[in-house]
């Protein structure tokens, strides 16, 4: 028997039945069948391109609407601020253009002030200290000039000292020291020492007396200040 004949028989009896059996086995197991593959493909949800595009358009429309609302709110706020600024500018313009009346301090005639001063000083000499202080205060309120104001403060201080209101007296004596060139300054400095001494503050009193000696060495009050300091030892 020839080789070709033997090969043909081998294919017919062995290989063809084997391939047939393998095919039946694959079909029986159900692996890779066309129907099952189609079922699995249909189960996977597919995103439609049209649906995705519509969603993006809606999102953009919502965002544009939100931005427009914000812009409208900002525009309304700007209009409100502009209106308030205009109102403030109008008020400011009216205030600056309104005529102003200069404030003046009423002053009493010189003759009347001089008479009032002498009357107040007379009250002090009569030891009517409260009335004297009140009248000197009235002179200051009437607009006494600097030439008379220092004297008024000094005698008000003397009046409070006479009433034993030493703290009030100190305020007016110290005010007198602020008037440069006043002839009452040495007297006020001495009375500051007396007021501190009356309050029991010996250190402050001694310092005030020492200032009389050092600041006004030619004053007639220097000896009085030294005498008071000696009595405090």
pLDDT in tens, 99-135: 443 333 444 444 588 899 999 999 999 999 999 999 9
In whole angstroms, what is the distance from residue 123 CA to residue 156 CA? 11
Q: What is the pLDDT of residue 224?
A: 96
Q: What is the mean pLDDT of the chain?
A: 75
By the 8 A CB rule, do 152 and 140 touch? yes
In whole angstroms, what is the distance from residue 70 CA to residue 76 CA? 10
Percentage of the chain surpassing pLDDT 70?
61
Q: Given the structure tokens 């309050």, which residue do they identify?
A: 199
CATH 3.30.110.40 fits 110-231, yes or no: no
CA-nearest of 75, 78, 79, 56 to 67 is: 75
Question: What are residue 219's phi and psi, to 5 degrees?
Answer: -75, 150
Q: What is the pLDDT of residue 11?
A: 46
Q: What is the pLDDT of residue 25?
A: 41
For the four alpha carbons of 184, 185, 186 and 190, in that order, the dihedral sign comes to positive
Burial class (CB in 10 A: 0-12, 13-18, 19+), 150: buried
Q: What is the pLDDT of residue 50?
A: 56
Given a cut of 80, whether residue 164 has pLDDT beyond it is yes
Percentage of the chain surpassing pLDDT 90?
46
Q: What is the pLDDT of residue 72?
A: 72
How far, in Å, are 66, 186, 220 from residue 55 at the CA level? Answer: 17, 98, 107
Assigned token pair, 213: 């000696």
Q: What is the pLDDT of residue 152?
A: 96
Contacts of 206 (CB under 8 A, 6+ apart): 193, 229, 232
- In 84-156, the DSSP E strands lie at none
Q: What is the pLDDT of residue 56?
A: 78
**Eight-class DSSP state of 15:** I
Give DSSP secondary structure letters for 173-224: HHHHHTSTT-TTHHHHHHHHHHHHHHHT-HHHHHHHHHHHHHH-TTSTTHHH
pLDDT digits (tens, 9 = 90+) for 20-75: 444 444 334 444 444 444 444 444 445 555 566 777 777 788 787 778 777 776 76
Given a cut of 50, whether residue 222 has pLDDT beyond it is yes
Of 43-52, 80-89, 127-136, 145-154, the range with the lowest mean pLDDT is 43-52
Q: What is the pLDDT of residue 229?
A: 93
Q: What is the pLDDT of residue 145?
A: 74
Given a cut of 80, whether residue 148 has pLDDT beyond it is yes
Residue 171: pLDDT band (50, 70, 90) is very high
Residue 201: pLDDT band (50, 70, 90) is very high
For the chain, what are the domain ranges? 110-231
Q: What is the pLDDT of residue 60?
A: 80
Of 55-59, 88-92, 216-220, the range with the lowest mean pLDDT is 88-92
């Amino acid at each position: 028997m020839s080789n070709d004949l033997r090969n043909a028989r081998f294919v017919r009896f062995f290989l063809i039945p084997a391939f047939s059996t393998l095919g039946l086995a694959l079909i029986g197991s159900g692996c890779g069948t066309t129907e099952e593959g189609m079922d699995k493909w249909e189960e996977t949800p597919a995103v439609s391109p049209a649906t995705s595009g519509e969603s993006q358009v809606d999102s953009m429309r919502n965002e544009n609407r939100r931005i427009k609302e914000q812009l409208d709110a900002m525009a309304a706020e700007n209009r409100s601020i502009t209106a308030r600024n205009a109102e403030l500018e109008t008020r400011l313009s009216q205030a600056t253009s309104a005529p102003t009346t200069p404030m003046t301090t009423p002053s009493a005639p010189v003759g009347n002030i001089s008479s009032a001063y002498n009357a107040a000083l007379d009250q002090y000499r009569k030891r009517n200290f409260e009335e004297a202080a009140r009248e000197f205060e009235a002179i200051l309120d009437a607009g006494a000039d600097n030439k008379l104001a220092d004297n008024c403060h000094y005698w008000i201080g003397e009046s409070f000292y006479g009433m034993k209101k030493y703290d009030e007296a100190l305020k007016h004596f110290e005010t007198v020291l602020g008037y440069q060139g006043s002839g009452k300054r040495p007297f006020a400095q001495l009375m500051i020492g007396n007021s501190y001494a009356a309050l029991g503050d010996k250190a402050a009193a001694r310092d005030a007396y020492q200032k009389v000696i050092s600041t006004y060495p030619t004053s007639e009050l220097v000896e009085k200040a030294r005498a008071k300091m000696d009595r405090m030892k």
